[in-house]
């Protein structure tokens, strides 16, 4: 198997400590590659390399930065099938989703490359004659990007692409479950012509590498996607050093089905939202909130469809549900299913680890549906697995109240033919994303992605908002009057 070190200053190097770990295929248990984990000393070297590279990269014309990202997109497009298979092998999502994730990386690099010709500021009139006012967006400096395992190419593409087009240099820590996808992305950026030191990757544990990135005084901004607990810790530590911190955290996403909905369409959406990526999306549908008039029909149809979903090796294009990402993730989900049963939720299907051949070496959990009362832990807490709770409500107002009564606010959905209810839901749902007659999925790359409440701290990824996370605003005043003019001072 291939062994990977750290990517520092344009070279692959062995870390100071050399702690090795293996990345595995969660469907088969097959070892894919060896990685060497770093430590604080290696983070120091990464920051030094990024700091040296920053002045030249900052002054490199943004459209030229965009050309490098466009070339990276072209490489990804040419090798889409290969890299889609890599995502599937290392993370476990089905092959259609693996290739879809690569397409998302392509789309974002192409989109954000165009921002290199904009990096929009504002121009405004002055209160004084012969004077103009404007704003510029400038890079922050060295930024730290810490990414999750569930979208091992797409989320790094969002963060790295936006930070790079804005002119920042980067210290990047990928999740230890999926470092091979991260290494492949680094190799693509290198092939595309990214100068040495502009992106540096340090693999290793959150306790050693992640914490060193968060605490390093040379890193001026942090961008993190992961759990709420980890996000709060990073936010507090970053704030103590007055760092800019961007967080994208958890979700407990609702799909509402009203009594006038297209039921079959709504069930298609719920199946994809709940069990796509085996529920391992921050946007996964974890609560199906159903009007009492159609509850029985929805329950019967979704149970029938769920039981017919094919589970297996995610490289098989006929498979609909693959494994969860690893042993710890599997245990967490199974423990939560036990909690649901203990607190009185009615287990309608699934709820078990699949152990028979050929699944025994992997981490497979049957798609699980609970019939639950709002307020149970399975309806309030993020599970991050193939677990869906059905909740019956009497009408629209109760549906909205139940949907909003969680600590998260990422993605939300309502199925209805009533245009009035649809527009009311757009306003009333407490979420960063609202879908009408579509499931709780992510955003298209040209619109902002992020949430409210415990889902984040106000930053957004993708769209033009992505630039805001990685830039400082500078106000500029140009006085061409040829004389001293004193704003707000009346000299008459």
Q: Which residues are catalytic?
A: 248, 282
Three-state DSSP state, 448: coil
Separation between Cα atoms, residue 473 and residue 384, nearest integer Å: 37
From the number of C-beta atoms within 10 Å of its C-beta (0-12, 13-18, 19+), residue 89 rates as: buried
25, 359 Cβ separation under 8 angstroms:
no
Name residue, tokens 């929805």.
Answer: 298
Separation between Cα atoms, residue 169 and residue 56, nearest integer Å: 10
**Structure token digits, residue 331:** 């245990």
Q: Which long-range contacts (CB under 8 A, 24 or more apart) does 318-321 make?
A: 319/94, 319/95, 320/94, 320/275, 321/94, 321/275, 321/278, 321/367, 321/386
**End-to-end alpha-carbon separation of the chain, Å?**
81
440, 273 Cβ separation under 8 angstroms:
yes
231, 154 Cβ separation under 8 angstroms:
no
144, 171 Cβ separation under 8 angstroms:
yes
- Name 117's Cβ contacts closer than 8 Å, sequence gap at least 6: 62, 63, 66
Q: What angle do CA 286, 289, 292 make, to 5 degrees?
A: 150
Cis status of the peptide bond prior to 358, with omega within 30 of 0: yes
Going 376 to 303 to 442 to 27, the CA torsion angle's sign is positive
Name residue, tokens 């072209």.
Answer: 74
Separation between Cα atoms, residue 371 and residue 394, nearest integer Å: 16
């Amino acid at each position: 198997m291939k062994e990977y070190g750290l990517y520092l200053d344009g070279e692959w190097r062995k870390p100071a400590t050399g702690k090795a770990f293996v990345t595995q295929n969660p469907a088969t248990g097959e070892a894919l590659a060896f990685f060497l984990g770093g430590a604080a000393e290696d983070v120091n070297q990464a920051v030094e390399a990024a700091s040296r590279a920053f002045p030249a990269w900052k002054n490199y014309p943004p459209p030229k930065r965009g050309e490098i990202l466009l070339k990276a997109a072209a490489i990804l497009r040419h090798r889409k099938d290969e890299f889609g298979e890599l995502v599937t092998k290392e993370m476990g999502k089905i092959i259609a989703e693996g290739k879809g994730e690569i397409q998302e990386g392509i789309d974002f690099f192409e989109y954000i490359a165009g921002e290199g010709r904009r990096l929009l500021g504002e121009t405004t009139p002055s209160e004084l004659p012969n004077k103009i006012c404007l704003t510029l967006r400038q890079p922050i400096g060295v930024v730290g990007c810490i990414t999750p395992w569930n979208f091992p190419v797409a989320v790094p593409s969002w963060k790295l692409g936006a930070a790079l087009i804005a002119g920042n240099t980067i210290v990047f820590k990928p999740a230890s479950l999926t470092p091979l996808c991260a290494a492949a992305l680094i190799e693509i950026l290198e092939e595309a012509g990214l100068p040495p030191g502009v992106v540096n990757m340090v693999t290793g544990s959150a306790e050693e590498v992640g914490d060193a990135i968060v605490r390093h005084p040379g890193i001026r901004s942090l961008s993190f996607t992961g759990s709420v607990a980890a996000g709060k810790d990073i936010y507090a530590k970053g704030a103590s050093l007055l760092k800019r911190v961007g967080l994208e955290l958890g979700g407990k996403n609702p799909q509402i089905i009203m009594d006038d909905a297209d039921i079959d369409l709504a069930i298609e959406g719920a199946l994809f939202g709940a069990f796509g990526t085996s529920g391992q999306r921050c946007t996964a549908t974890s609560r199906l909130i159903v009007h009492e008039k159609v509850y029985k029909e929805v329950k019967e149809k979704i149970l029938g469809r769920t039981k017919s979903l094919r589970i297996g090796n995610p490289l098989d294009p006929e498979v609909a549900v693959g494994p969860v990402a690893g042993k710890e993730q599997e245990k967490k989900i199974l423990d939560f299913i036990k909690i649901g049963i203990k607190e009185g939720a009615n287990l309608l299907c699934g709820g078990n680890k699949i152990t028979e051949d050929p699944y025994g070496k992997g981490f497979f959990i049957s798609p699980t549906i609970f019939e639950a009362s709002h307020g149970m832990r399975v309806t309030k807490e993020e599970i991050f697995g193939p677990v869906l709770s059905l909740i019956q409500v009497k009408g629209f107002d109760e549906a909205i109240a139940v949907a909003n009564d969680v600590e998260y606010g990422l993605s939300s959905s309502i199925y209805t033919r009533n245009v009035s209810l649809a527009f009311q839901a757009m306003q009333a749902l407490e979420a960063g994303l609202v879908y009408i007659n579509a499931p709780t999925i992510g955003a298209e790359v040209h619109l902002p992605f992020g949430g409210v409440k415990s889902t984040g701290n106000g930053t957004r990824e993708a769209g033009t908002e992505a630039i805001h996370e990685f830039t400082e605003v500078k106000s500029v005043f140009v006085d061409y009057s040829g004389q001293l003019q004193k704003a707000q001072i009346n000299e008459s």
